[in-house]
Structure 1
Amino acid sequence: MKTFSRLIKHLCTTTADGRRAFPEETLKAIEQSIVEGERRHRAEVRMVVEPSLNSQAVLNGTSPRERARELFSHYRVWDTEENCGVLVYVNLADHQVEIVADRGVGRVVTTKEWQAICRTMTEGFARGVYHDSVITALHQLNTLLEAHYPDDGSTRNQLPDKPVML
């Protein structure tokens, strides 16, 4: 029964829902937040928003965490000089946010710190506040990354800053 209700949620969550939650103005603000953050730290941040999974992925039981790891690989977030790539994944149908970090960042940032950033978004999303929630969470993320990977003048942008809407 759980799979069936999840399948219905994914079938009913459309690309149009994604565009309503993350209009062009919000996507530009996300990109700007990533750009500004990467001026202060050496980590590389990618954000992917996915309204819903396809039916087969839901029926196969693909979790948001598994999907985030798949996208981490697909978008080569792991391919940074200092192993400091971070993927922020939003799955609207499941109301989930996942952060997948490369091993360099994963060694210094705690699960509790990642969860706090995810909670900022999910709590805001539950109230229908997408723009402000994601920008606040990215500010938290950038502050955290700046503490562990401060800019030392050697930074160069290794990954695109523009968020991906699937």
Structure 2
Amino acid sequence: MNFTRILRHVLTGKLALRRIFPAASLTAIEQAIQQSELNHGGQICFAVEAALNTIPLLKNQTARERAVEVFSQLHIWDTEHNNGVLIYLLLADRDVEVIADRDIHAKVSSEEWEIICRSMESAFRQQQFESGVIEGINAVGSHLRKYFPSDPNHKKNELTNKPVILE
């Protein structure tokens, strides 16, 4: 058991999340997703969670494992063209994971998603949360533009553009 990690999760609560992502930042992130999706046929969802609950934390659940759960819970796998992408932030660990549905995952390597995650984490270490998330959205959007160009006949927004705050 990693007591430092447990302590970090216990001390990182909803107040920290609200301080780091005030309403204005959440609105800017929502607008960035909306703007990005005008330029491609993919779907982007940003979800942030302050900390893991006790049982997953004691079982040493990783941010990656949690992101896969969230991907499923939010039905990101259920987009018409299988091109949904989740950007997940576990705030207590400052760990970002990108989970992509099968059609986009087949085209973009895990290493490319990892580069986006590390870049966002670097911004977070400098306390640049809003800009770090927006840069990540833009980087994901670049991949989606390349493989799923905008189609005027298919402009349905299948996933919420609002950041998902997981409680």
Return the TM-score normalized by structure 1.
0.95
Offset at 1:31?
A: 0.6
| Structure 1 equivalent of residue 138 of structure 2 | 139
Offset at 1:121?
A: 1.0
Say whether 1:74 aligns with 2:69: no
SS at match of 2:93: coil
Say whether 1:155 aligns with 2:159: no
| Structure 1 equivalent of residue 84 of structure 2 | 85
Offset at 1:155?
A: 2.6
Offset at 1:122?
A: 0.2
Q: For 2:109 and 2:141, how far apart are their aligned partners in 1?
A: 15
SS at match of 1:93: helix
Stretches of structure 1 lacking an aligned partner (at least 5 in a row): none
Alignment check: 8 A CA contact 2:40 2:141 kept: yes
| Structure 1 equivalent of residue 49 of structure 2 | 50
Deviates more, 1:135-144 or 1:36-45: 135-144
Where in structure 1 do 4 or more consecutive aligned residues deviate above 4 Å?
Answer: none
What per-residue deviation string (whole Å, max 9, x for no partner) do you get for residues 98-131 of structure 1?
A: 0111101100011121112111210010111111
Alignment of 1:12-51 (within 5 A): 12-51=11-50
Offset at 1:55?
A: 1.4
CA RMSD of aligned residues (A): 1.0
Q: For 1:25 and 1:118, how far apart are their aligned partners in 2?
A: 23
Return the TM-score normalized by structure 2.
0.95
What per-residue deviation string (whole Å, max 9, x for no partner) do you get for residues 37-62 of structure 1?
A: 11111111111100101111100121
Offset at 1:78?
A: 0.5
